[in-house]
Amino acid sequence: MNPTARAQPIGHYENFPVASWLCPPQLRPPIAAIYHFARTADDLADEGEAPAQQRLDELAAYRRDLQAVAQGQPHSGRWPQVFEPLAAMLAAFRLPVPLLDDLLDAFAQDVRKTRDHATYADQAELLDYCRRSANPVGRLLLHLYGVQDETALRESDAICSALQLINFWQDLSRDIPRGRHYLTEADCAAHGVCRAELATLRPTPRILALIEAQAHAARALMLAGAGLVHRVPGRAGWELRLVVQGGLRILDKIETLGFDTLQRRPTVGAADAPLLLWRSLRM
């Protein structure tokens, strides 16, 4: 996780502190291997012009390579830059393979949902997606940090799901035209908003109220997990402080926009660094 993670995506899977000076040096190789595994899978699901079925077929082949290296077997050779280092790190650090598999489930779900113009029924279904698309990242990092108590896992899940949700509400101007609908049917109905209204990308009072409610819920979830920063040791704990503050800063900017992310996309940049550092110190 890093403060530009799902709170500030740049077209790839950026939920890892790759090469960060705050990352413990001995953990940089496994974190980089996990990152390249997730980023490549994300590209298979999201980049280029391939039809949906081809994307799903590629993800299935990618999953077979994961299963092969997890069992100590040769991979297909299609993605050697991913599976050769990953195989070594799986052996050296005993990485939990089901968490990597969950990420692939989420990427495939994104392809199917987009293809079918499908929506999420309610928050429970949306959070189940976050459980597979975001929470494995935190759990993999906690595994590397040697932090495995139930409270820490629960707080990590809260932070990662919050980052995923913040990304959704930050990226409405991009996701809605692409056919990705993360505002649930239940939440839309509660605010009297229909899909056709969302498709116009016009910030009506009802839509702004809907986004405001989602932003407040994401903030509450982030704060519910924030205690984890005191459970993760050393430099990794400081990395996590920046994760939390980066996500909260995006929410600040969404609020400053009057919750209108249908036409504008708030980001965190270098100008925000002093404030993020100060807030991290105050934690």
Residue 248 lies inside a defined structural domain of this protein? yes
CATH number for the domain spanning 151: value is 1.10.600.10
% of the chain with per-residue pLDDT over 70 = 92
Q: Does residue 17 belong to any structural domain of this protein?
A: no
> For 118-141, how does the pLDDT look when each residue is reduced to its tens digit (9 = 90+)?
999 999 999 999 999 999 999 999
pLDDT confidence band for 24 (50 / 70 / 90): confident
Structural domain range at position 114:
25-282
14-19 average pLDDT score: 46
Q: Is the pTM of this model over 0.85?
A: yes
The DSSP secondary structure of the chain, one letter per residue, reads --TTTTTS--SS---S-TT-TTS-GGGHHHHHHHHHHHHHHHHHHHSSS--HHHHHHHHHHHHHHHHHHHTT----SSSHHHHHHHHHHHHHH---HHHHHHHHHHHHHHHHHHHTT-B--SHHHHHHHHHHHTHHHHHHHHHHHT---HHHHHHHHHHHHHHHHHHHHH-HHHHTTTT-B-S-HHHHHHTT--HHHHHTT---HHHHHHHHHHHHHHHHHHHHHGGGGGTS-HHHHHHHHHHHHHHHHHHHHHHHTTT--SS------GGGHHHHHHHHHH-
**Mean model confidence pLDDT for the chain:** 91
Task: Determine, yes or no, domain membership for 151.
Answer: yes
147-187 confidence digits (pLDDT tens) = 999 999 999 999 999 999 999 999 999 999 988 999 999 99
Into how many domains does the chain fold? Answer: 1
Contact 62, 79 (CB under 8 A): yes
Q: Is the pLDDT of residue 6 over 80?
A: no
Confidence check: pLDDT of 93 > 70: yes
Residue 226 has pLDDT above 90, yes or no: yes
Q: Does any domain span residue 47?
A: yes
Q: Is residue 1 part of a domain?
A: no
Quick check: is 16 in a domain? Answer: no
Domain assignment present for residue 9? The answer is: no
Does any domain span residue 259?
yes
Reported as a single tens digit per residue, the pLDDT across 234-255 is: 888 988 999 999 999 999 999 9
